Amino acid sequence: MSANKTYWRSLNDLHETAEFEQIASREFPQAASEFPEGVSRRKWLKLMSSSLALGGFAGCRYGPDQIAAFVVRPPNDVAGVPKHYATNFELADRAVHLLISNMDGRPIKVEGNAQHPIMRASEPNELGEAGDRSRFASGGTDVYSQACVLGLYDDDRAQRVAKRVDGVLTESTWDDFAAYAKTQFEAFKANGGESLAILMSPSLSPAVNRWVAETVKTLPKVSVAQYSSVDKSAQVKACAQAAGKPAELVYKLDAAQVICAFDSDLLGDDCNAVLYSRQFSKGRVPEPSKMNRLYSVESKFSVTGAAADSRLPVRPSQIGAVIRELEAKVDDLLKGGQPVPPVDGEKPFDQIDSAEKVARFLSAMAEDLVKHKGACVVAVGAYQPLDVQLAGLRLNQKLENFGKSVMLMPSRSAVEGVEPIELTELVAKLDSGAVKSLWILGGNPVYTAPGDVALGDTLKKVEDSVYLAEFEDETASVCSWSLPLAHQLESWGDVLAVDGTYGISQPQILPLLGGRSRIEILSMLHGGEAGQAVSEKLIREVADAVAGKPLTSRQWRELLHSGFLMGLKFEPLAGPFNVEGSAPVGSIDLDSIEQGSIELMVTVGDTLYDGRFAKNVWLQELPQTMTKICWDNAAVVSPKTADMLSLKQGEQARLVHGGATVDLPVFIMPGQANGTVAVQMGYGRICRDEAVSSNAEVVIGKDVSPLRSFSAMHLIRDVEVKPLPRPYKLATTQDHFAIDELGLETTKIRAKNLVREGTLEQIEEGGSEFVDHLGTHHPALESLWKEPIETLESDKTVTYQWGMTVDLNKCTGCNACVVACQAENNVPVVGKEQVTRGRELHWLRVDRYFRGDVDTPKIVNQPVACVHCETAPCEQVCPVAATVHTEEGINAMAYNRCIGTRYCANNCPYKVRRFNYFNYQTEYGYFYGWQQKGEIEKASRKLQQLVLNPEVTVRGRGVMEKCTYCIQRIQNGKIQSRIEGRVIEDGEVQTACQAACPSQAIVFGNLNDPNSRVSKIQKSERAYEMLAELNIKARTFYLARVRNTHARLKTSDQLEPAHHGHDAHSDTHEESGEAHVDHS
């Protein structure tokens, strides 16, 4: 426990005291005596929670009045048939609009709500040419939404109302707290709320904001502090200045031909990334005049950078200078200047020095922006300072984008009549004693607060502090009351969509662990009641207020059904806006790397956000989008920076800034701006280690808060980075960059063939000849015998032949599909140690390859799951026929028959087969986990198992598994269509990955139907079969990626002539029927 000392200091101290042991042993005498002395905190928690966890099972029910056996089946409830409920809530600072699959009273899967107005408004244009478009509609989600169902069943969640007694958190009750709240409220009323402060993060929930406003009305002297771990204050300020009132910036990427992102990860960590990905993918149709162009100027290689047509790595402090230069160039062009025309014989972009790269990049961007005036977007990342934000807005105004592709919308988080104070101000008030009571509405501020704000120390001195959160975390350990927050799937709530549409959140299940929502707590603050019925009433009141009239019960049911109130939207604010500001200063120098003035960029975690998902093991094990690291955060540096600072992959680096020191493992990533270090926040928290060796807790990654300061939360300058020659093993799901020359060279050559990529011009010139050209030279593909299975060529006696396509032009590599697959198919988590052994079980992975030069590389992503080969190599070598072909062309696994020879996995060229080396899904560990089979462990496991999809077999140890094309969904579709006496319609069955994909890159369907979308796409010019030369006839096809790169920014590989080497071979090709050849 020593490593956890600071985090759980109080609890540590606590469980060593005699009283605590006494309490525990009195309550659970038998179980308590099972544990030896010196047990971990976790075991104690489990000890105490066992009755709650078991009690929680009673929560998996339809309603209090239906607890009796279903002698008479409740109407519309068919056991085993999932029901879908629309809901909306705030998750990781964003509004999510979801459909929840509720299986026998427990939510198990999340999909995007395709009917939501913002989803409808961004539907891809080529959907469903014939018939009902809604068949193909899918909302798409992000990783956080996909993973939120796991959080619901987390037995680590706070399971008790806890009160500090003599410095120790002791179990209490809601009634106790209600009484406390009532007395407190009386006291507040007496002093007008002067002694009270509320700390919250900006909320998108009208109900929460309404209650806060109500509080201010009742207690006019109350202090409301807003603090967000992700600092967007510069952008908020810039928008407020521009609009003259609180506003937020929303882009309409489908209305933009040119998108310039400046340190802005629009498609990645942006709160509207799902919407933006949908809009962006609409513009990725590789046809001239239709296809958009994305520029990315950024320091950290982001999802947006990988999706960009051209990318320039620039350190964060120089982004401003780039925008300033760009503005100058745009001004010049707007005044009638002429763009620099491409010169014949000009060197390709990757062969020029960095100064020229910048110059060309700027002139190309300026040219494109001006050419597409009114149809372009200049997006500046939220971390950039105010002057850069204003410069971005100014450019948009000059380019007449406002109201067309860029919009300022009324702020959703602004609270009427409330002037929130900053966190530092709050701390000062607490320290001075002006505020005596603090109510914290979630957010774990003690952990997320920057290094120079000693919130934890201050809170310890505060006598009355109430903390509502999902976990008994760092903040809980210093507060006097710790209240369990209900999961959003357990509580009533509401949220405003980015377009202002009001959506409500309805509970899918009664609170498993007795938690309550923010609204209930705010109501209790006013001495009010709490409970499901109360919060429903409260939400309905807000809905009435938003609708402007009381909703009839029919309208209320409609709202519950669709999840949103139709027709109520924000109008974009009208310009012109006040975007004046000083021009950003500084110069551009891409190569300077100077010790002591290294820039650190702290971004939100790809998977953990600000650490709030640290206990979600799906997200912990989800590979970070670009580095493919899981279970850790690392100091990401460019190869040049690493050289200069003598940093080595596999070792650590010591980051020193302002007296704080953080040691992080080094990860060398080409494309990271020189002289910068990128690191993800949200780590350094305790998480369950799913490793085989133990079920103990470990600290995952490093907390970088000490390096952050209130004034520089994300972009920290003048950091010293020293090599720390201490080995550190990072768990990555793809090989580190630091591999041998031979491997690197081969990867480069192969990646071209595996992930085929061309330019828009190549498509224009020769169709998609480049797609075939990039393939491998191979003889005619002939089978020596008739395949004993159903293939597409064989007689079409079977109605369905399933197939899939993945459009690499649309895929951004956001990972949503990976988590969706995990959730749908009961894919277990294996833990860091097992990932380092290459034993992760994700059925779907996103492969990442680098392309081009080391300084300005490009990244290509490729989602890979089982491609369901018609002549599957795995099937031929299984000695017990455990993997076989269905007549519908699915390569199926019979888990019961599998004995685990693993031969199939060896013979799979795509390496998509996954093996259960241990009993990952249940207890595992030494000797089959016998040492963990205590009653409490079993109870916890049972709680966690509630998330499992009952339609998918849970695999035990020693069994091979892999993607099944979501065969359970196909089966459901077949049953439904059979009942209705028809065939499955195109688009009716969607795989989990397809449904989760925000950019709709994945299409699944019946290849036997020539009119199905998948058939048409597979016949497209861009379609190719990965490793076609093996003649295994994959059913999943990829669509080649097309980059719409500006002529002057083309790299040497993009300029290679498409016809290279073809003519010489053309005769032989025709004779032998060979596939296309390329020697490159």
Partner 1 sequence: MMPIPTPTKNLARLMSTIASHKVIDNTIDTPGRRSPLVTGNQTYGSLTHMVSRISEEAQPLAWWITFLLAVPTLGMFGGLIVYLFLTGVGVWGNMSPVFWAWPIVNFVFWVGIGHAGTLISAILFLFRQNWRTGINRAAEAMTIFAVVCAGTFPGIHVGRAWLAFWLTPYPSLNLWMWPQFRSPLLWDVFAVGTYASVSLVFWYMGMIPDLATFRDRSTNKFRRMVYGILSLGWSGSSRHWMRYEKAYSLLAALATPLVLSVHTVVSFDFAVSQLPGWHTTIFPPYFVAGAIFSGFGMVVTLLVPVRALYKLKDVITLRHLDNMNKIILATGSLVGLAYATEFFMAWYSQNPYEVFTFWNRAFGPYWWAYWIMVSCNVISPQLFWFKFFRTNTIAMWIVSIFVNIGMWFERFVITVTSLSRDFLPSSWGYFTPTWVDIGMLVGSFGLFFTLFSLFCRYLPIVAMAEVKGVMSQHAHAEHRHAHSHGHAHSHGHVGGH
User: Which residues are near partner 1 by CB under 8 A?
Assistant: 692, 734-735, 739-740, 742-743, 746-747, 749-751, 754, 776-777, 834, 837-840, 845, 847-849, 862, 864, 873, 876-881, 897-903, 905-907, 909-911, 913-919, 924-928, 930, 957-960, 1027, 1030
Name the amino acid, one letter, at 270: D
**Closest separation between CB of residue 813 and partner 1, Å?**
12
**62/928 with CB nearer partner 1:** 928
**Closest separation between CB of residue 839 and partner 1, Å?**
5
**Closest separation between CB of residue 750 and partner 1, Å?**
6
Q: Which of 132, 131, 133, 130 is nearest to 119 (CA)?
A: 133
**Closest separation between CB of residue 620 and partner 1, Å?**
19
**20/928 with CB nearer partner 1:** 928
**Closest separation between CB of residue 1079 and partner 1, Å?**
10
Q: How far apart are CA 833 and CA 831, in angstroms?
A: 6
**508/732 with CB nearer partner 1:** 732
Q: How far apart are CA 248 and CA 239, in angstroms?
A: 6
Number of H helices, E strands in the chain: 35, 40
**190/739 with CB nearer partner 1:** 739
**Closest separation between CB of residue 845 and partner 1, Å?**
8
**Closest separation between CB of residue 623 and partner 1, Å?**
11
**Closest separation between CB of residue 779 and partner 1, Å?**
10
**545/877 with CB nearer partner 1:** 877
**Closest separation between CB of residue 1014 and partner 1, Å?**
23
**519/1026 with CB nearer partner 1:** 1026
Alpha-carbon distances, residue 109 vs 99, 137, 546, 950 (angstroms): 8, 17, 29, 11
**190/880 with CB nearer partner 1:** 880
Q: Helices 206-218 and 518-525, interaxial angle, to 10°?
A: 10
Using left for φ > 0, alpha for ψ between -120 and 50, and beta otherwise, residue 675 falls in left
**340/1075 with CB nearer partner 1:** 1075
**567/788 with CB nearer partner 1:** 788
**61/748 with CB nearer partner 1:** 748
The residue count for the chain: 1080
1004 SS3 class: strand
Q: How far apart are CA 408 and CA 385, in angstroms?
A: 18
Q: How far apart are CA 574 and CA 390, in angstroms?
A: 17
**Closest separation between CB of residue 992 and partner 1, Å?**
21
Locate 507 and state its tokens.
């509970």
Q: How far apart are CA 704 and CA 662, in angstroms?
A: 7
Burial of 3 (0-12, 13-18, 19+ CB in 10 A): exposed
**410/925 with CB nearer partner 1:** 925
Q: Which of 142, 274, 307 is nearest to 861 (CA)?
A: 307
**24/669 with CB nearer partner 1:** 669
CB 105 within 8 Å of CB 60: yes
**Closest separation between CB of residue 933 and partner 1, Å?**
13
**Closest separation between CB of residue 653 and partner 1, Å?**
23
**Closest separation between CB of residue 902 and partner 1, Å?**
4
Q: How far apart are CA 818 and CA 987, in angstroms?
A: 21
**317/733 with CB nearer partner 1:** 733
Q: How far apart are CA 608 and CA 1001, in angstroms?
A: 24
Q: Helices 206-218 and 532-547, interaxial angle, to 10°?
A: 90
Locate 88 and state its tokens.
């909306």
**198/959 with CB nearer partner 1:** 959
Q: How far apart are CA 679 and CA 603, in angstroms?
A: 6
**Closest separation between CB of residue 147 and partner 1, Å?**
23
CA 476 to chain centre: 26
**577/737 with CB nearer partner 1:** 737
Helices (H), 801-897: 816-824, 832-836, 873-877
CB 360 within 8 Å of CB 247: no
**Closest separation between CB of residue 807 and partner 1, Å?**
19
For residue 576, cis peptide bond before it (omega within 30 degrees of 0): yes
**Closest separation between CB of residue 1041 and partner 1, Å?**
16
**Closest separation between CB of residue 945 and partner 1, Å?**
19
Question: If you compute the radius of gyration of the chain from its CA atoms, what whole number of angstroms results?
Answer: 29
Name the amino acid, one letter, at 885: H
SS3 for 125-194 is: CCCCCCCCHHHCCCCCCCHHHHHHHHHHCCCCCCCCEEEEECCEEEEECHHHHHHHHHHHHHHHHHHCCC
Q: Which of 627, 648, 638 is nearest to 675 (CA)?
A: 638
**Closest separation between CB of residue 911 and partner 1, Å?**
4
Q: How far apart are CA 293 and CA 308, in angstroms?
A: 8
Helix (H) or strand (E) holding 53: helix 41-57
Q: How far apart are CA 1001 and CA 978, in angstroms?
A: 29
**603/733 with CB nearer partner 1:** 733
Beta bridge partners of 85: 100
**339/900 with CB nearer partner 1:** 900
CB 278 within 8 Å of CB 266: no
**762/812 with CB nearer partner 1:** 812
Beta bridge partners of 884: 892
Q: How far apart are CA 369 and CA 352, in angstroms?
A: 23
SS3 for 616-685 is: CHHHHHCCCCCCCEECCCCEEECHHHHHHCCCCCCCEEEEEECCEEEEEEEEECCCCCCCEEEEECCCCE
> Residues near 938 by Cβ (< 8 Å), separated by ≥ 6?
923
Q: What share of the chain is helix, strand, coil (3-state, %, to 5)?
A: 35, 20, 45
